[in-house]
Each structure stands twice: as C-alpha cells, then as structure tokens.
Amino acid sequence: MGNRFIVIEGNIGAGKTTLATKLADEMKAKLVLETFEDNPFLPKFYKDQKRYAFPLELSFLAARYQQLKSDLKQGDLFNSIIIADYYLMKSFIFAKITLSDDEFRLYRQFFDLIRSFSAKPDILFYIHREVSVLKNNIMNRGRVYEKDLDTEYLSSVSRGYFNYFKEVRDFPVVVVDATEADFQNKKYYREFAELLNRKFPCGVTNIKVI
C-alpha cells in the first residue's frame, strides 16, 4: 500500500514548502501547504510576542484544523498520495514555546480536542539544518516581520521538535540532516526523493544527505 500521507517538517526557513511542492509535482500527489500569509496576528506577534502569542496560536490551530479536515478527507487518503508541509503537532510545539504556562494549559484543552480528529502521517521527514543556515535562508527570503528572528528562538523550535520526536512510537520519523544540502540542487533533491522508496521503522531514524 505504501505511504499515503507524507509530511515534510522542519524549522522556520528549512525549505519545507519548496521540497514538498517538488515532491508532490513529481509524484502527482495532492499538496497540502500551510497558510500563514493571511494571518493578521503573525506580524503583530513578531513585534510583541507576549501580547499576541495566544491569539496567534489559537488562530493557527483553527486554520490548520480546518485545512486538514477538508484536505485529508477519508476518501482522499485512500485514493491519492498526500504531501503536506506541516503536521498538526507543529502548532503544539510552537505554542509550548510562545505561550506562558497558564495560557498553554488552556491552549492544550483545545489542542487535545482537535488532535483526536486529525490523521496520523504514514511517514514524517524532518529537514534538519543548523540555525546559522536557517537564519541565512530567512534573511534571503526577506519577509519583513521575520527580520529580527533570533537564534535562541530558532534553537528552541529545533529542541521542541526533537523533544516531541522522542515520544513518537506509531509512525516513522526520519530526521534528515541537510545542513550541507540544498534541495534546489538536483543531486540532493534526487537523494532525498529516493528516501521515499525506503521503508523505515516507527520512531526516529537519523539520515544524512551528502
């Protein structure tokens, strides 16, 4: 039967969207991309994190739930391959970093409700890049509100993902060390694409793309 629901994850600026789009194109798969450009709280959050974190996290959670619900209908999962550039847990990982303890407790109640409706991936690939590389990518793409994104924030997002992966038992998580690999380059892209033909055990496997 193979992998039907494939997730490409990674820190901010890891190159998830480009890679997921290329793969979906090649595999004639349905592409599910995270939408964030229309989120009015995101630019505000980067200016004043304390004040806007809670509405930001709730709005992301609501938007992602809506999207996954409509894009991952049961029928779709049987009929076609789906490639997404995020997994619902991303919301949880970010919220744990951005919210205060009491806000997070409240957030968690909503998250647990929503989580019970969401599909589990058949496989999740996490593109790992060093923070200095992420910072470079973020600067080069030039989204104004991300210009002051600091190293500590990016490091805490990476730690958040790795802590979560330690708990995953029911699907394979492939951590792809791609610090030296640009997937715009055909050689690296092919090397990554070949991983999709391999079988991985549940839990974490570390791979380096060279």
**Hunting for tokens 């409240």 — which residue is that?**
106
Residue ranges binding ligand ATP (CB under 6 A): 10, 12-17, 34, 36, 42, 56-57, 60, 91, 94, 98, 146
Q: Closest approach of Cβ 39 to ligand ATP, in Å?
A: 7
> Residue 10, annotated ligand binder?
yes
Q: Closest approach of Cβ 199 to ligand ATP, in Å?
A: 26
Residue number with CB closer to ligand ATP (17 or 205): 17
Residue number with CB closer to ligand ATP (9 or 191): 9
Q: Closest approach of Cβ 180 to ligand ATP, in Å?
A: 17
Instruction: Please confirm, yes or no, whether 170 is among the known catalytic residues.
Output: no
The one catalytic residue among 48, 85, 102, 182: 85
Per the annotation, binding residues for ATP are 10-18
Give the active site residues: 85
Per the annotation, binding residues are 10-18
